[in-house]
Amino acid sequence: MRAVVIDDFGTEPHIAELPEPVPGPGEVVVRMHAAALNPFDWKVVDGALRGVVQHQFPLTLGSDGAGVVAEVGDGVTELRTGDRVYGQFLQVSRGRGSFSEAATVSATGKVAQLPAEVPFECAASLPTASTAAYQAVAAAGLSAGDVVLVNGASGGVGQSAVQFAVEAGATVLATAPPDVADHMRSLGAAAVIDFTAGPTVDQVRAAHPDGIHAVVDLVSRAGDAAAVAALVRSGGAFVSTNNAAEAELLSARGVRGVNLDSRVTPADLAALAERVADGRLRVQFDECVQLDDAPAAIAHARAGHARGKTVILFG
């Protein structure tokens, strides 16, 4: 089978021929139909997990993907041959990833069945970004009528977070550049904060001088979040996906600080797929490429030229 691999840290991704996978006990082989690029994919190339977990080379890149179960291993009862599934496939310790024509994964790990109404390319875009958004909004503890700022709303995580917050009944303030403002409103944002027109904090404070209930912060880094966190009034929550919440300082003024460590679960994957199937969640991807073009697409996205999610198609 063909796959996008690296031969060592820092090497260029390329297409390689690998042996067809064989499922072990508790595993299934998935014939991939689509896989999606995430920034973490090229961080793996740079050694983001080096020293944390053993890597096996050649290492097939890619975490998120969707396809059809082609073979089941001993003891598997949760999935059957022919089931449509999606989830996360990256296992660096075993050299496995989703950018391959077939991938082996635990039947009870980070995959879930995919409803027929959800296209493979759409499903492949969900696991990393939409799971993070789903868990971040849940951590914010939103109720109907709460005002929440989604800081970094125009990205893949942010667009999903806006929709989950709207589903919770919240009034959503979304930061985004002017060219996607209409799209953010179509997702349910009550107001779009143009961060190119002036500081986000000043714009929110002018509209909500008494503060807001929550901030879901997808962009601030550790040490840089104090001003945006100060928008949250007592009793609210500041949720960071970048470990930027200073929990003790926030707690001193009655604000919950949450540094989200997002982990994909089958239950959350099922919840996401259900929302796409019934129209509560819309996902957008920028470009679809064939497997042969995946190395170039990775370089393109890594250089910051992609405007949205890139999806790799197989066959």
Mean pLDDT of 134-144: 98
The reply to whether 96 and 190 lie within a common domain is no
Tens digit of each residue's pLDDT (9 = 90 or more) over 288-311: 999 999 999 999 888 876 656 899
pLDDT at 262: 94
- Is pLDDT of 91 > 80? yes
In whole angstroms, what separates CA 197 from the centre of its chain?
28
Tens digit of each residue's pLDDT (9 = 90 or more) over 235-273: 999 999 999 999 999 999 999 999 999 999 999 999 999
What residues make up the domain containing 211? 128-259
- Residue 68 corresponds to which tokens in the numbers above? 């059809």
Would you say residue 120 lies in a domain?
yes
Alpha-carbon distance of 313 to 315, in angstroms, equals: 7
Would you say residue 270 lies in a domain?
no
The reply to whether 61 and 146 lie within a common domain is no
Measure the CA angle with vertex 136, ends 176 and 98; round to 5°. Answer: 90
Tens digit of each residue's pLDDT (9 = 90 or more) over 180-237: 999 999 999 999 999 999 999 999 999 999 999 999 999 999 999 999 999 999 999 9
pLDDT at 51: 86
- Residue 55 corresponds to which tokens in the numbers above? 């890597």
The percent of residues in the chain predicted with pLDDT above 90, rounded, is 92
Nearest to 286 by CA among 300, 275, 276: 300
What total of structural domains would you count in the chain?
Answer: 2
CATH code of the domain covering residue 140: 3.40.50.720
Q: Is the pTM of this model over 0.75?
A: yes
Average pLDDT, the chain: 95
pLDDT at 307: 59
The reply to whether 90 and 110 lie within a common domain is yes
The reply to whether 132 and 252 lie within a common domain is yes
Cβ within 8 Å of residue 206, ≥6 positions away = none
The reply to whether 119 and 160 lie within a common domain is no
**Single-letter residue type at 123:** A
Would you say residue 272 lies in a domain?
no
The reply to whether 83 and 163 lie within a common domain is no
The reply to whether 162 and 195 lie within a common domain is yes
CA separation, residue 245 to residues 125, 199, 248, 259 (Å) = 27, 19, 9, 6
Would you say residue 273 lies in a domain?
no
Would you say residue 16 lies in a domain?
yes
Partners of 174 in the β-ladder: 150, 192
Tens digit of each residue's pLDDT (9 = 90 or more) over 17-45: 999 999 999 999 999 999 999 999 999 99
- Residue 95 corresponds to which tokens in the numbers above? 């050299």
CATH code of the domain covering residue 55: 3.90.180.10
Would you say residue 268 lies in a domain?
no
Handedness of CA 226, 232, 238, 240 (dihedral sign): negative
In whole angstroms, what separates CA 27 from the centre of its chain?
24
